[in-house]
Structure 1
C-alpha cells in the first residue's frame, strides 16, 4: 500500500490579455511574462492536467494517481458520485485590466452542448487596489429583449451591477450570473471542473493583430439569469477555527484564520484542499513536517484523516 502525504503541483500558468505580474510578486509563481493572468493550481481539464511536484508520486499527473488510488485520493463519497473524475478546479487570478464580461452555463446546458460540467464558482479577494470593483449580475431584473437591445447598442454596462471590493471579500457565483473581475484584483477561485465560458463583452479590445476576441452572444441567451442576484457572502472568521464561507452542492469552503495551532480530524468521505492566501504555516502528519507559504495550494488525499496545522496564515479549506 502506498504511503500517502500532502500533494503539491506545478502551477499551470496562463497568459491573458488582461494579466499582469502580481502572481509572481504576491504569490511566488515562476512567471516570466508581463501578462500572466492565471495560475491553475489543481486541474484535470483536458490538456491542462496538474503534475505532482513533491514526494513519492513526483512526476505523475493527478489523473494517473486517481486511477491507481481513487478512493484513497478522492474519498468514498466523492468517488461514488463522480467516479474517477476530480470534480473541482483551483486557480489564482491576477487582473491587471478588466476581464471580459462573461457567464457560465449550468450542468444541463454544459452537458448537452459541451459534454462538460457547468461552472459554479466562488471568489476570495486576496488583494485589491483602491477603487477596485467587480461586475456581478444586473442592477435590476432584466429580460432577454432588454439585454439584446443593450448588446446591440454597446450599452450593456449600464444594466450591470458594479460592486466595490476589498481584501477578504467573498463572492459565490451561481451558473448564469453575468460577471467580470475588475482591474487591480488578485483572486483565489474555486470552481467545478469546467472551462466553458460564454464571453459577452470584451471592452472592444483587440489583440496585437488587431482582432477582437470571440463573443458568444447566441450561446449566452439561454444561459443567462436575468434576475438580480445577491452573490456577496458575509462571514466571520474565528481564530484557529474552521468558519464557513460557501456550502453548495459542488463544494464546501471554510476559512481558517490560523494563529498558533489547529488539529484537524476528518472522515475519509472527501479530499481536502488548502489554499494559503496569506502568511505561512507548517503541516504535521505523523512524524513528518511540511512547510507552506502564501500562494501554495495543497491537496490532502481523503485517506489522511488526522493532522496538525501550525503558523500564522489565512487558509481556504475546501472539501466536496
Structure 2
C-alpha cells in the first residue's frame, strides 16, 4: 500500500524576487528577494526532500533512481516534471527555452523546457510577454539589434485564474506583480534575450544568450491553443487546462468530499488555497495552503475533503 509523499520545497533568490512566497503561503524564505519555490523537484539544482513515511529524508532523485515502482516504472533517466511557484516582484528577463533535441546537444544532455503557467494572483492591470511580432528571423534580429523591444514583444493582459501553455521556442516573460504556479519539464536551461539593461549589486549586466535564443525561437510566433474543459463531480470541480506531450495539468476545486482513483503512474499536487484532508488506506493526512505532495503509483482509491483549490499534474 503506497502513501502520499509530502515534500519540502527549495527556495531560490532572484534579482526579480520578493516576499509573496512568505506573505501568501507562510514559507520561511531566505530573503526579501526570493523569486522561486521549487515545490516538487527531482532536478539536481534543487531536489525536493520527502517529509513523511518510510522515505523521509530521501530526495526525489534518490526515489526515482532506486524506487521506480513508486512512479509506476515510468521510463526516463530523470524525474520528468518540475513544479514551481514564482514571485515576479519585478519583471523577469525576456527568455526562450530549447526543445529536447537542442538541449540534449548543447546543454550536456539536459531536457528541453516546455512549461505552463497558472496565474495564482496578479496586480491590477498586470500583463506578461507571450510571443513577438517579427515575421522572419531577419526581422527579429534587426529589431533586437535596434533595441525596438516595445514593437517586437507581444504583451498580453492577465488575471488570476488564467492559464498559459508555453512550448519550447516561445519568447516569454512574467512581468511585475505576478504570482504563478509553473508546471514544466525538469530543466534549468534558459536563454535570455533581453534583461531591461539591469545591473547587479556590482554594476554588471546579466549574461544574454542571443545566438542560442535565435537558434531555438519560434519565428513567426504561433499561439499555443488552450482548450479548457470543466467537469462537475460530487464534491469537486475539475478543470483540465492541458493534455500535452510532456504533461497534463488540472485544477481540482474540492468543496465537501470527493472520491478519486489513482489511474496515472503518479501525480503531483499543490494546495493553492483552503484546507482539508486526504484520506487513503485508513489514514488521514491534513492539507493546507502551500503544501505539495506526490501521489505515487498503487495508491488506489482516495478521498479529499474540505475546501481546497489544487493544481494537479502528471506526465
Q: Please, what TM-score do these two structures have when normalized by structure 1?
A: 0.93
Query: Any conservation in 1 of the 2:228–2:242 contact (CA below 8 Å)?
Result: no
1:181 maps onto 2:174 in alignment: yes
* Structure 1 counterpart of 2:247: 251
Report deviation, 1:234. 5.3
Number of aligned pairs? 311
* Structure 1 counterpart of 2:132: 138
Which of 295, 298, 301 aligns to 2:296? It is 301
Report deviation, 1:292. 1.6
Residues in 1 aligned to 2:229 and 2:246: alpha-carbon distance in whole angstroms: 22
CA offset digits 1:16-68 (Å, max 9, x no partner): 00000000111221114110000001212224221112222111111222233
CA offset digits 1:92-143 (Å, max 9, x no partner): 000000000001001110111111111000000000111111100024x522
Residues in 1 aligned to 2:266 and 2:119: alpha-carbon distance in whole angstroms: 24
Report deviation, 1:150. 1.5
Query: Any conservation in 1 of the 2:11–2:30 contact (CA below 8 Å)?
Result: no
1:171 maps onto 2:169 in alignment: no
Structure 1 unaligned spans of 5+: none
* Structure 2 counterpart of 1:192: 185
Report deviation, 1:230. 2.0
* Structure 2 counterpart of 1:13: 11
Query: Any conservation in 1 of the 2:253–2:310 contact (CA below 8 Å)?
Result: yes
The answer to which of 230-239 and 46-55 deviates more is: 230-239
Query: Any conservation in 1 of the 2:96–2:169 contact (CA below 8 Å)?
Result: yes
Q: What secondary structure does 1:299 align onto?
A: strand
Query: Any conservation in 2 of the 1:170–1:232 contact (CA below 8 Å)?
Result: no
Residues 32-181 of structure 1 correspond to what in structure 2 (within 5 A)?
A: 32-71=30-69, 73-76=70-73, 79=74, 81-83=75-77, 85-114=78-107, 115-139=109-133, 141-181=134-174
Report deviation, 1:236. 5.0
Query: Any conservation in 1 of the 2:227–2:242 contact (CA below 8 Å)?
Result: no
Q: Please, what TM-score do these two structures have when normalized by structure 2?
A: 0.94
| RMSD of equivalent CA atoms | 1.5
Query: Any conservation in 1 of the 2:40–2:268 contact (CA below 8 Å)?
Result: no
Pair 157,302 (structure 1): closer, same or farther in 2 beyond 3 Å:
farther
Residues in 1 aligned to 2:66 and 2:214: alpha-carbon distance in whole angstroms: 42
* Structure 2 counterpart of 1:271: 266
Residues in 1 aligned to 2:35 and 2:4: alpha-carbon distance in whole angstroms: 26
Q: What secondary structure does 1:124 align onto?
A: strand
Residues in 1 aligned to 2:144 and 2:173: alpha-carbon distance in whole angstroms: 16
Report deviation, 1:157. 3.1
Residues in 1 aligned to 2:22 and 2:192: alpha-carbon distance in whole angstroms: 27
Query: Any conservation in 2 of the 1:6–1:298 contact (CA below 8 Å)?
Result: yes
Residues in 2 aligned to 1:215 and 1:157: alpha-carbon distance in whole angstroms: 18
* Structure 2 counterpart of 1:229: 222
The runs of 4+ residues in structure 1 deviating greater than 4 Å are: 236-239
